[in-house]
Structure 1
Amino acid sequence: MTEFERFLRQLPDQDAERGRQVFRRRRVDRGELVVRVGDPPDRVAFVEQGLFRLYGTDDAGTERTLAFRAEGELVCAYSAALRREPSRIAIEALEPSWLMVAQRPEYDAMVAANPGWQQLVGRLTEALYLALERRQSDLLLTDAADRYTRFVTEHPALAARLTQRQIASYVGVTPEALSRIRRRLISINDGATAPAYRAGHDDNARNGDRGSRA
């Protein structure tokens, strides 16, 4: 069973069938931007297979990673859709990926006409809000070492698919600062086997492991 079909199992049969009609499968290459800054919020996508990064660029030109989206998750410029204005973020494929894509007018009409979709979208919106609130709290109230440790502990499978540069951007530090944090954690946790504390690391390889460079 595909990830999209698992997702649709949360819905009544009639609503699930409507979703199959509205969403269309699309191949995405690694490095492709599925949303660019300034794009209209005219599509909603479900990650069937692959990994995506949502990011913005600050006034100094530094990219700031806001979130990652992987299999089983919706990916779109959500806040832009709510504001009905061009996207202020970009969404990049970090791996060769497959999306199920719906045009926004069709998607909105489907949700408006189907109670099952309304309830599901309500739950997804609530989860998104809680995740955003926690993310903001972490950035304001915890230090970078704690943010890094929590990320690799709570999301080990995701961390294994990312480079240390990508993780550093999400944690909110430079790659050099993250390397110092990792060295300190390695020293404190000497002999630990967790990937987060491997001594041999490469900031451009997945999870810092030289053997995993793509």
Structure 2
Amino acid sequence: MSEHKEQYECIQRLRHAPAVSDSGWELFIHRTERKQVKRGAYLVNAGERVSYAYFCITGLFRLFYTLEDGKEFIKSFSLSNEFVTSYGAMISGEPSYFSIQALEDSAVIEIPYAVLQELSDRSHEWERFVRKSVEQLYLKKEERERELLFLSAAERLEAFRKKYPDLELRIPQYQIASYLGISPVSLSRIINQKRN
């Protein structure tokens, strides 16, 4: 297992990782692959089917929709020690509605969906692990929907800053505006008002 030690240690860092047996990790590690992802490269393209989930070892990804007029709407960001995929597309076999792009040079563990299914069928430990991972994705999605429906743009900016403390220094302002659902001009106005 030493040649895949980094994969093992990265997955173990998850807060909700259960006590999976060594043989369970061994199977996981030998059926997954560590990959480097260059800045600007895509893990998922909208309109394509999805066969993999990814665990971000290092780096940063944006998950975004492209509207018919070409405008982009960022639904979320994925950082180190988080899973990232188009989960709905992966389990349904339908094409993804959104894309996932690296905003920095990143490293991921690529996990075939078939491997997740096999591990879940074989082991209650892995079934719990997958369920807990999906629950985290669901909570993130629900929180995002609540922010868009109930918070003002200024309140959404505050929520963004709490959720992603250092992200303002890592991404351009127009991407923050896209995530907040406002124009870059409106974001500049809110930021200036807060400074005064």
Q: Is the TM-score greater than 0.5?
A: yes
How far apart, in 2, do the equivalents of 1:153 and 1:3 lie?
29
Q: Which amino acid aligns with 1:27?
A: Q
Q: For residues 126-157 of structure 1, what are the alpha-carbon distances to aligned partners after superposition, in whole Å with 9 as ceiling and x for unaligned?
A: 12212211111110111111000121133212
Superposed displacement of residue 3, structure 1: 6.8
Number of equivalences: 187
Superposed displacement of residue 89, structure 1: 0.6
- Structure 1 residue aligned with 2:11: 7
- Structure 2 residue aligned with 1:154: 163
1:179 corresponds to 2:188: yes
- Which residue of the other structure, out of 99, 104, 111, is the alignment partner of 1:102? 111
Change (3 A) 1:4 1:148: farther
Percent of aligned positions that are identical: 33
SS in structure 2 of the partner of residue 91 of structure 1:
strand
- Structure 2 residue aligned with 1:50: 59
Q: Which amino acid aligns with 2:12?
A: L
Q: Which amino acid aligns with 2:156?
A: R
Alpha-carbon RMSD across the aligned residues, in angstroms, is 1.7
- Which residue of the other structure, out of 20, 23, 41, is the alignment partner of 2:32? 23
How far apart, in 2, do the equivalents of 1:127 and 1:107 lie?
16
How far apart, in 2, do the equivalents of 1:154 and 1:91 lie?
19
How far apart, in 2, do the equivalents of 1:29 and 1:91 lie?
13
SS in structure 1 of the partner of residue 156 of structure 2:
helix
- Which residue of the other structure, out of 95, 101, 115, is the alignment partner of 2:124? 115
- Structure 1 residue aligned with 2:88: 79
SS in structure 2 of the partner of residue 66 of structure 1:
strand
Superposed displacement of residue 64, structure 1: 0.4
Conserved in 2, the CA contact under 8 Å of 1:38 and 1:87? yes
Q: Which amino acid aligns with 1:8?
A: Q
Change (3 A) 1:103 1:144: same
Consecutive unaligned residues of structure 1, counting only runs of 5 or more, are: 188-214
Superposed displacement of residue 2, structure 1: 4.0
How far apart, in 2, do the equivalents of 1:138 and 1:42 lie?
30
Q: Which amino acid aligns with 1:133?
A: E
Q: For residues 58-111 of structure 1, what are the alpha-carbon distances to aligned partners after superposition, in whole Å with 9 as ceiling and x for unaligned?
A: 233210001111111111111112322011110000001111112222232122
Change (3 A) 1:123 1:106: closer
Q: Which amino acid aligns with 2:95?
A: P
Q: With the length of structure 1 as denominator, give the TM-score of the two structures.
A: 0.81
How far apart, in 1, do the equivalents of 2:25 and 2:37 lie?
24
- Structure 2 residue aligned with 1:65: 74
Q: Which amino acid aligns with 1:169?
A: S
Q: With the length of structure 2 as denominator, give the TM-score of the two structures.
A: 0.88
